[in-house]
């Protein structure tokens, strides 16, 4: 199994380390050729406008959208969540528009307002998941096919729609690999078909 990490900008190294620690090959994805060689993709946190522009420049936006529409699992954290959303407020970057959610960029505040908290995530079991929020987006609306896996103050922060997974927070920074394991299980389920 190869889980690519979009390597245009953001928390690339951190996601790759978690995956490699789980025994998974985690190549960097910078081109459409790189994307063709992976079974699934993680779009890391970073700066969504920059990432979106670079995706469009290299044709990755179309290639990711086409692969995801054919069933390739994609996990977006923070900026990745914004890029996967159907709509985003607060300045809209080029979006993949794959997941039926609407988000507000930087809704939890500026960099200095970043915080950590524990979340109850029944799909992952106990104990609570330690979550790191950095200039995080807020999910303002979810479609009926979206499963909310965790919320903070009644706002979804971890959600799934089919083979798509998103989080407002950065699990790659928490030292807890359960969200990545959950994503790997989605990938395994898709490979069984």
**Does 180 qualify as catalytic in the annotation?**
no
Peptide bond into 69 cis (omega under 30): no
Catalytically annotated residue among 172, 180, 185, 192: 172
**Tokens linked to 174:** 């928490």
Catalytically annotated residue among 14, 28, 57, 78: 78
Q: Are 98 and 62 in contact (CB under 8 A)?
A: no
The DSSP line for 79-134 is: HHHHHHEEEEESS-------EEEEEETTTT-SGGG-EEEEE--TTT-SSPEEEEES
Catalytically annotated residue among 47, 170, 185, 192: 170
127: CB partners within 8 A, 6+ apart: none
**Does 78 qualify as catalytic in the annotation?**
yes
**Does 15 qualify as catalytic in the annotation?**
no
Active site residues: 78, 170, 172
């Amino acid at each position: 199994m190869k889980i690519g990490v979009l390597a245009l900008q953001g928390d690339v190294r951190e996601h790759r380390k978690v995956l490699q620690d789980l025994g998974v090959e985690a190549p960097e994805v910078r081109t459409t050729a790189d994307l063709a060689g992976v079974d699934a993709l993680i779009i890391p946190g970073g700066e969504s406008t920059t990432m979106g522009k670079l995706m469009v420049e290299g044709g990755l936006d179309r290639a990711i959208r086409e692969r995801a529409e054919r069933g390739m699992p994609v996990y977006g954290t923070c900026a990745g969540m914004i890029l996967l959303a159907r709509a985003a407020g607060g300045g809209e970057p080029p979006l993949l528009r794959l997941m039926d959610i609407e988000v507000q960029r930087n809704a939890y505040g500026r960099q200095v307002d970043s915080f950590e908290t524990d979340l109850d995530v029944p799909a992952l079991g106990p104990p609570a998941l330690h979550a790191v929020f950095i200039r995080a987006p807020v999910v303002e609306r979810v479609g009926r096919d979206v499963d909310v896996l965790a919320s903070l103050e009644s706002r979804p922060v971890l959600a799934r729609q089919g083979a798509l997974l998103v989080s407002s927070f950065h699990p790659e920074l928490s030292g807890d690999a359960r969200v990545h394991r959950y994503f790997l299980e989605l990938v395994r389920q898709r490979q069984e078909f």
